[in-house]
Amino acid sequence: ISLASQNFLESLGVWQMMPAERRNPVRQMEVHGDLDGVIVLDAQESQMLELAYIVESGEIENALYNALKVYGVPWIDDTFKSFEQWQGQIECGSGQIIKAKLLIGADGARSTVRQACSIRHEFKAYGDTGLVAQLNVEKPHLDTAVQWFGDFGVLAFLPLPDTQDGHQVSMVWSAPQHLAAKYQAMSPEELAERLPPALQAIAQRRLGELSLRSPMFGFPLTFESSGMIGPSVALVGDAAHRVHPLAGQGLNLGLGDVETLCKILIERESVRDINDLRLLQRYRNQRAEAIFNMRFATDGLYRLFAIRSPMVAMARNAGLKVVDKMPFLKKYFVRSAAGN
């Protein structure tokens, strides 16, 4: 969660509903190249308390659900079937009809809203698989998020709050398909035996002994974009766009969508209804730059490290070293990580 997303959630009263002991600050970030290049981003160097927060998705979802109850927002447990834009009504899977002038599709990468409303969608597979799990670690993470690039893909350890079991991190591994398939094919017992040593080798035993704390889940990595709007429809989050997870900015992009859309609707001219196409176009236009920049950065970084040429490897690692010695550039990256 970037600081910009934290501020937005705080303004809604949602952040306060998450237990403080389940929110882990990130005070330092390290990015290791595939040779000896490294960048270290430190909150203290930029006169900040933290760069971001790591919060488990379940904690965020519980807080959002509790906020809905506090604000009296109706929760209808049903599935979406269709939307008649001109009549302003949604048909649910159960047959229930809901009157609505504006439909916001926040239903993920396989959005049925996007499909039913015929909103343009472009899709490109990276050919890699995202693997996620929680790990017990021997050594404290010191509120540091660490990322490694190499032949193995991109591996990140994100700091989680300590529990009575000790220290924990969240593993996010963008792995080549053949490597991911090998681990996904293992039984839980075999995975628990073979995955931790492989991770320890990549991380050079930085956090000591590792063990699996949770089941491992996998998902295909894709690059996706959409038209974002249609008549009386707006898409947010993964329904609207999807970027490579190496920067950990997918949720922050989605929350940025929501914040921008809310602001536009709240501040709309009195003559415009909530589903006015010009408002929706304003939303799409205002989000275009942030989405393009994140897409360009994540896709470009992924493709740069995918080139296996020794000369290119030397150049990109030299670049990491140069940036690490330039405080003004590092402050720019820190502001970007914070969502500013």
Domain CATH code at residue 269 = 3.50.50.60
Please indicate, yes or no, if residue 6 is contained in any of the structural domains: no
pTM of the model: 0.92
Helix, strand and coil percent figures for the chain, each rounded to 5: 40, 30, 30
pLDDT beyond 70 at 230: yes
Q: Are residues 233 and 200 in the same domain?
A: no
Q: Are residues 159 and 261 in the same domain?
A: no
pLDDT band for position 297 (cuts 50, 70, 90):
confident
Q: Are residues 297 and 317 in the same domain?
A: yes
Per-residue pLDDT tens for 238-255?
999 999 998 889 999 999
Last residue of one domain, picked from the residues 189, 209, 224:
224
Please indicate, yes or no, if residue 256 is contained in any of the structural domains: yes
Last residue of one domain, picked from the residues 194, 224, 254:
224
Structural domains of the chain, count: 2
Q: Are residues 106 and 180 in the same domain?
A: no
Least confident of 100-104, 187-191, 315-319: 315-319
pLDDT beyond 90 at 305: no
pLDDT of residue 8: 97
- In eight-state DSSP terms, residue 16 is G
Please indicate, yes or no, if residue 77 is contained in any of the structural domains: yes
pLDDT of residue 331: 84
Average pLDDT over residues 180-187: 98
Q: The tokens of 19 are what?
A: 């237990």
Q: Are residues 118 and 102 in the same domain?
A: yes
Q: Are residues 258 and 313 in the same domain?
A: yes
Please indicate, yes or no, if residue 85 is contained in any of the structural domains: yes
pLDDT beyond 80 at 72: yes
**Is 131 or 321 the better-scoring residue by pLDDT?**
131
Average pLDDT over residues 255-270: 97
**Is 34 or 92 the better-scoring residue by pLDDT?**
92
Burial pattern 247-283, b for ≥16 Cβ within 10 A else e, equals bbbbbbbbbbbbbbbeebbeeeeeeeeebbeebbebb
Average pLDDT over residues 156-179: 96
**Tokens 């010009």 sit at which residue?**
278
Pairing state between β 38-42 and 153-163: unpaired
State percent of the chain over pLDDT 70.
99
Last residue of one domain, picked from the residues 196, 224, 252:
224
The whole-chain average pLDDT of the chain stands at 94
Q: Are residues 118 and 143 in the same domain?
A: no
Q: Are residues 118 and 139 in the same domain?
A: no
pLDDT of residue 101: 96
Highest mean pLDDT among 196-200, 242-246, 294-298: 196-200
d(CA 305, CA 310): 11
pLDDT band for position 167 (cuts 50, 70, 90):
very high
Look up the domain containing 237 and give its range: 58-123+225-338
pLDDT beyond 80 at 226: yes
pLDDT of residue 300: 86
pLDDT of residue 303: 86
pLDDT beyond 70 at 318: yes
- For position 169, which CATH number holds? 3.30.9.10
- In eight-state DSSP terms, residue 138 is S
Q: Are residues 191 and 286 in the same domain?
A: no
